[in-house]
Chains A and B, each alone.
Chain A
Amino acid sequence: MNESVLVYRGFLYLKVATLLMLAAIVAYAVDRPLGMPNGGTWLGYGLGSIGAALILWLMWFGMRKRSYGPGKWRLEGWLSAHVYLGLSLIVIATLHSGFQFGWNVHTLAYVLMMLVIASGVFGVFVYLRYPALMTENRRGLTLTDILAQIAELDVECREQVMTLGDEINRTVLEASQNTRVGGGVLRQLSGRAPDCATARALKRVRELGDSIGSEGAEHVRRLIALLTRKDELLGRARRDVQIKAMLDIWLYVHVPLTFALIAALVAHVISVFFYW
């Protein structure tokens, strides 16, 4: 029903970025510098200045999205421009380098920039792919709702095991106390819990169930149903955490790399002028 960042205003910023890149390519093609094309020619300086200005402007987005003042802006427009103009840097910076790479601070700045762009591309990908998956996975509930339902199931499980002997009791108690959703970064991103206490309890209850007499069988059946439902909800909760983590994690790469890029860029600019 709405326009995504990519199609914002009929691909306005894609068009702007394409024009910018085409202009740079044409200029590079017609330019006949003395010697090899490199950052030290007039075109090189020109492209370098445009690139540096773009980088600073792209960084400004971090401030921009936190300033909520009045005005006819829409943050979506800024993000759309951020994406396309950021991508145009691939062409502009590469042409600025004149395809000269080496083990030096200049190439370091270039590589960092490409990593920032790559992480950004990944960000666009997750922003477009995961929100719908998250809605689908939640089926109308919020994460809080799911966790509340899990807590209710825990209480019901414990009611069922009252009469069923120590080992089942211990297993079920452990399932309600030691089941975890989320955790460290890797655990969150994996969306799985290989040692899940609830899954273990479900397996164990099924094993132990065979040895329980007919008077307890009904409780065991109910317990199995409850634990299965809880396991299912846990799966959805973990999937939710996983998707949220995917939506968030790339920024933890994108932003610090940007600062690293700025440091390298400053070193690059100063050293170029110092050795001029």
Chain B
Amino acid sequence: MADNVAVAIIGSGPAGLSAAGHAAEAGLSHVLLEKMPHASDTIFKYQKGKYVMATPDILPLRSPFRFQAGAREEVLGAWDEDLAKHKVNVRYKAEVTRVKGKKGAFEISLTDGSKLTAENVILSIGLQGNLRKLDCPGAADAPHVQYQLDDPDEYEGETVVVIGAGDAAIENAVALSKQNTVLIVNRRDEFARAKQGNLDAVTAAIEKGVIQGYFNTAPVKVTPGTITLRTPEGEAEIKCDRIIARLGAIPPRQFVESCGVKFPNDNPASLPEVSRHYESNVEGLYIIGALGGYPLIKQAMNQGYEVIEFIRGNRELKPADEPLLEEKIKILPGVSVDAFLKRVRDNVPLFRELNTLLLRELMLDSEVRTPKPGEAIFTRNDYSNTFYTIVDGQVAIEVNPNDPTEVVLLGKGEFFGEMGLISGRRRTATIKAHSDCVLLETNRRSMIKLINSVEEVRRVMDQTAIARQIQTYLAPRLAKDDLADVLASAQAQHFMEGETLFNEGEIGDSVHLIRRGSVTVSRRIGGRDIVLSYVAAGNYVGEMALLSDAPRSATVRAAINHTETIRIEGQAFKRLMSRSEALRKEVEQKFGDRIQQNERMANAPEVGSIIQFLVDQGASEATDILLIDEALCVRCDNCEKACAESHDGISRLNREAGPTFANVHVPTSCRHCEHPHCMTDCPPDAIHRRPNGEVFIDDSCIGCGNCQRNCPYGVIQLAVRPPGKPSILNWLLFGAGPGPGQDKSAHPHGQKKAVKCDMCSGIEGGPACVRGCPTGAAIRVNPERFLSLATLGQR
């Protein structure tokens, strides 16, 4: 028998390193086993210079090892130093083949034949050591198949087939497409798992033909220099220089099971279950890190520390985020964190299915609010987009803007604010506390993450949202019971830009309530599509054919990607009208308005063309867009100067760039989108939206450029803040500042950060570009109001 230690740690990723470090620090006999000749192989294999994030930012680090966001090399360097500093007993090239035994006497066998015994075992092997392999004939020994990509710039002029639908596959494909011919193969018909930014990038690349996309396609055979794909049109053999399969990583199930650990089900991606103390079903065998369900570096490192504490007998150790949560619930005197979490879970059905980890994470991104009765939580037309759940008490929704006494009450366990989350638009009602309340206010990003990752939350939210939207937009005065059959037929539908909701001449069997995005209504006149109107979220279309029992009189198209509607069956809608006199009147009224507007527009096709032009420029997803009337613009560029003078010398708008149609010019400047593309993938979460709609970037920007790439309108630039301007006398007499013979200190230096229009927030008087325009050519408008006949017809 060789060595015996109190704890053997298998795998030297962040979790294992931290555990070993803490064991060494605590004087516990230990050994850290790593199969590679270096520590932390997953991060070692990151692309060179890759920026390693330290999310969640607010979570404190609890580890003898240092860790902060930075380049891959810095992170690894610090860990190597710490390994030496703490005198960690680490054995490299020590691959474990078997673990057997029980608490107090585990026997660990290594590939070199040696054995050692341990009282406790910590499995921190992660998932990346077990990449999912291409499973088709010939793939196993083909020399041109690889499962990782270190540096995409190494390859040039090759034909590369990328297989996979996740972020890694897309990132590789997009990076390689710069100097190679790239095909991306996806088993399904869309990239459902990818981050929004990557999804947009790959969709755009496929549309432009930069990458060839093969959907519903599977690899069937690999031979040297080729791959055979089964596409919906049949099998095709493709010549290629390289195949990169990014199929994700799965638990090394065979090995883990051989240790006696059980998995909850047969899904190859499922993870073993562990207790609150990270102990598996085998007593004395602990699982931490990605294999235990904690994929983030900081969480894994904290677990390493905690698991050693548990092994040392400290069973009462609180999680690292405990003080943060305590701080959050300080507003409720005498309530402990555990008691509050239990209360949330007991009272709020929406969160009942969340495990403790997810609930704590959600709490970290939320605030506890205790408004007094009568206090406003948010106000109609605010642009705030947080989500509220009622832990205790009641709130009152003021459903009628003209009569604040007309309210609908929501009680314990219900939630509100989801409409803004879905539509990205202003709040549709004022909500006040009705009794003493305890509310949980969660930020938009965490909520979206939760919706996307927990199916149950998504389902409940969607159901409730449809009911609320129908109630808010169609029948505010009807009770929920009266809506039952409408709800039964209601169905959420999703459209990409240009897709039709229905076509002119079709039978009108349904009404669409637009809940996200917007649509254009057009009719074919003289062989040409003439846009008749623009309809924004919160309105319905399709009622005309229904009322007159005639075919559809116009074609309705989504004006923007990810437009969502609630489709209501015609018969159900008619029954609803028969029950609600107010709705019937309103629909009749709107019907009349539409007939009038459509006839006017049919005779003013130039106005329709301007609407179409602005919709093509993406105005339909804007909340506030800068337009220049070129009939008045004298090209003095005072707007740009005013912008630069108001913002550290960098103009956030380019007047001359951008398209023009019939004197309407759309300069390159932020439109403050309803669902900002820039916000979709901001690692430090530095992009926010204020209640008045403006989207701004705060100082935590790390200059990664994701927002710049994600913005389809090119309005974000990465710039270094230039030094302040000297006074005119200093400039004139002493040569300070920029100019001929300039002094060197006047050059901009420092880190590049993203800058964009912030609507001159905090500057009295509003946007400087508009105030600074001497001729009144520049205006900032809300497209919904602007794109109406009333406004455009006056031209």
Distance in angstroms between the alpha carbons of A140 and B642 in the assembled complex: 25
| Contacts A/B (CB < 8 Å), 8 sampled | A1-B779, A2-B632, A2-B776, A2-B779, A70-B763, A74-B773, A130-B634, A244-B635
Distance in angstroms between the alpha carbons of A132 and B664 in the assembled complex: 10
The list of the 5 closest CB pairs from A to B, nearest first, reads A70-B764, A68-B645, A76-B776, A135-B630, A132-B631
* Given A1-B794, A4-B632, A132-B630, residue A74 in contact with residue B770 (CB < 8 A): yes
CB of B609 within 8 Å of the partner chain: no
Of the residues A2, A130, A244, A247, contact of B629 by C-beta under 8 Å: A2
CB of A65 within 8 Å of the partner chain: yes
Distance in angstroms between the alpha carbons of A1 and B632 in the assembled complex: 10
Max chain A CB contacts within 10 Å: which of B642, B661, B795? Answer: B642
Number of chain B residues whose Cβ lies closer than 8 Å to a Cβ of chain A: 38
> A76 near B634 (CB under 8 angstroms)?
no
Which of chain B's residues has its CB closest to A67's CB?
Answer: B645
> B630 near A131 (CB under 8 angstroms)?
yes
Distance in angstroms between the alpha carbons of A165 and B198 in the assembled complex: 55
CB of A5 within 8 Å of the partner chain: yes
- Residues from chain A with a CB closer than 8 A to the CB of B642 are 68
Q: Residues of B at under 8 Å CB distance from A?
A: 627, 629-635, 638, 641-642, 645-646, 656-657, 659-661, 663-665, 763-765, 768, 770-777, 779, 791-792, 794-795
Distance in angstroms between the alpha carbons of A91 and B535 in the assembled complex: 53
> B774 near A1 (CB under 8 angstroms)?
no
Of the residues B646, B657, B663, B774, contact of A132 by C-beta under 8 Å: B663
* Given A131-B630, A135-B631, A247-B634, residue A5 in contact with residue B774 (CB < 8 A): yes
> CB within 8 Å of B: which of A1-31?
1-5, 8
- Cβ proximity bits A110-146 to B, threshold 8 Å, 1 near / 0 not: 0000000000000000011011101100101010000
- Cβ proximity bits A59-80 to B, threshold 8 Å, 1 near / 0 not: 0000001001011111110110
B656 to chain A, nearest CB (A): 5
> A135 near B641 (CB under 8 angstroms)?
no
Distance in angstroms between the alpha carbons of A132 and B632 in the assembled complex: 7
B699 to chain A, nearest CB (A): 21
Of the residues B627, B635, B646, B777, contact of A134 by C-beta under 8 Å: B635
- Cβ proximity bits A210-236 to B, threshold 8 Å, 1 near / 0 not: 000000000000000000000000000
> B773 near A76 (CB under 8 angstroms)?
yes
> A5 near B659 (CB under 8 angstroms)?
no
Distance in angstroms between the alpha carbons of A151 and B770 in the assembled complex: 36
> B635 near A131 (CB under 8 angstroms)?
yes
- Residues from chain B with a CB closer than 8 A to the CB of A134 are 630, 635
Distance in angstroms between the alpha carbons of A225 and B792 in the assembled complex: 40
A80 to chain B, nearest CB (A): 8
Of the residues A74, A128, A140, contact of B660 by C-beta under 8 Å: A140
Max chain B CB contacts within 10 Å: which of A72, A75, A244? Answer: A75
Beyond A76-B774, A78-B774, A131-B631, 9 additional contacts (C-beta under 8 Å) are A1-B779, A2-B629, A4-B776, A5-B774, A73-B771, A75-B772, A131-B632, A140-B659, A140-B661
* Interface range for A: 20 to 34
> A1 near B795 (CB under 8 angstroms)?
yes
Distance in angstroms between the alpha carbons of A65 and B656 in the assembled complex: 20
- Residues from chain B with a CB closer than 8 A to the CB of A2 are 629, 632, 776-777, 779
A36 to chain B, nearest CB (A): 42
Distance in angstroms between the alpha carbons of A132 and B631 in the assembled complex: 4
Distance in angstroms between the alpha carbons of A74 and B660 in the assembled complex: 25
- Residues from chain A with a CB closer than 8 A to the CB of B631 are 131-132, 135
Distance in angstroms between the alpha carbons of A134 and B656 in the assembled complex: 12
- Residues from chain B with a CB closer than 8 A to the CB of A73 are 765, 771
- Residues from chain A with a CB closer than 8 A to the CB of B646 are 68
- Residues from chain A with a CB closer than 8 A to the CB of B627 are 1
- Residues from chain A with a CB closer than 8 A to the CB of B775 are 4-5, 76, 79, 127
A273 to chain B, nearest CB (A): 33
- Residues from chain B with a CB closer than 8 A to the CB of A130 are 634
Which of chain A's residues has its CB closest to B791's CB?
Answer: A1
- Residues from chain B with a CB closer than 8 A to the CB of A132 are 630-631, 663
Which of chain A's residues has its CB closest to B771's CB?
Answer: A74
Distance in angstroms between the alpha carbons of A176 and B436 in the assembled complex: 81
* Given A2-B629, A65-B638, residue A135 in contact with residue B663 (CB < 8 A): yes
Distance in angstroms between the alpha carbons of A2 and B791 in the assembled complex: 10
A63 to chain B, nearest CB (A): 12
Of the residues B664, B763, B773, B792, contact of A75 by C-beta under 8 Å: B773
B792 to chain A, nearest CB (A): 7
A29 to chain B, nearest CB (A): 36
> B633 near A131 (CB under 8 angstroms)?
yes
Which of chain B's residues has its CB closest to A71's CB?
Answer: B765
Distance in angstroms between the alpha carbons of A140 and B658 in the assembled complex: 9
B440 to chain A, nearest CB (A): 37
- Residues from chain A with a CB closer than 8 A to the CB of B779 are 1-2
> B794 near A65 (CB under 8 angstroms)?
no
Which of chain A's residues has its CB closest to B641's CB?
Answer: A68
* Given A8-B776, A70-B765, A140-B660, residue A75 in contact with residue B629 (CB < 8 A): no
Distance in angstroms between the alpha carbons of A134 and B630 in the assembled complex: 8
Distance in angstroms between the alpha carbons of A102 and B308 in the assembled complex: 104
Which of chain B's residues has its CB closest to A123's CB?
Answer: B634
- Residues from chain A with a CB closer than 8 A to the CB of B632 are 2, 4, 127-128, 131
A158 to chain B, nearest CB (A): 30
Distance in angstroms between the alpha carbons of A72 and B638 in the assembled complex: 17
Of the residues B635, B638, B660, B770, contact of A247 by C-beta under 8 Å: B635
- Residues from chain A with a CB closer than 8 A to the CB of B657 are 142
- Cβ proximity bits A139-170 to B, threshold 8 Å, 1 near / 0 not: 01010000000000000000000000000000
- Residues from chain B with a CB closer than 8 A to the CB of A8 are 776
- Residues from chain A with a CB closer than 8 A to the CB of B773 are 74-76
Distance in angstroms between the alpha carbons of A234 and B238 in the assembled complex: 50
Distance in angstroms between the alpha carbons of A131 and B627 in the assembled complex: 15
- Residues from chain B with a CB closer than 8 A to the CB of A3 are 776
B16 to chain A, nearest CB (A): 56
Which of chain A's residues has its CB closest to B610's CB?
Answer: A1
B257 to chain A, nearest CB (A): 66
> A72 near B765 (CB under 8 angstroms)?
yes
> B776 near A5 (CB under 8 angstroms)?
yes
Which of chain B's residues has its CB closest to A5's CB?
Answer: B775
B74 to chain A, nearest CB (A): 41
A191 to chain B, nearest CB (A): 16
> B765 near A1 (CB under 8 angstroms)?
no
Distance in angstroms between the alpha carbons of A78 and B763 in the assembled complex: 19
Distance in angstroms between the alpha carbons of A74 and B792 in the assembled complex: 23
- Residues from chain B with a CB closer than 8 A to the CB of A244 are 635
A10 to chain B, nearest CB (A): 13
Distance in angstroms between the alpha carbons of A162 and B633 in the assembled complex: 45
Which of chain A's residues has its CB closest to B628's CB?
Answer: A2
> B630 near A1 (CB under 8 angstroms)?
no
Which of chain B's residues has its CB closest to A135's CB?
Answer: B630
Distance in angstroms between the alpha carbons of A274 and B381 in the assembled complex: 66
- Residues from chain B with a CB closer than 8 A to the CB of A68 are 641-642, 645-646, 768, 771-772
B474 to chain A, nearest CB (A): 33
Which of chain B's residues has its CB closest to A8's CB?
Answer: B776
> A1 near B634 (CB under 8 angstroms)?
no
- Residues from chain B with a CB closer than 8 A to the CB of A142 are 656-657
Max chain A CB contacts within 10 Å: which of B629, B632, B657, B795? Answer: B632
B330 to chain A, nearest CB (A): 37
Distance in angstroms between the alpha carbons of A127 and B774 in the assembled complex: 11
Max chain A CB contacts within 10 Å: which of B627, B634, B642, B660? Answer: B634
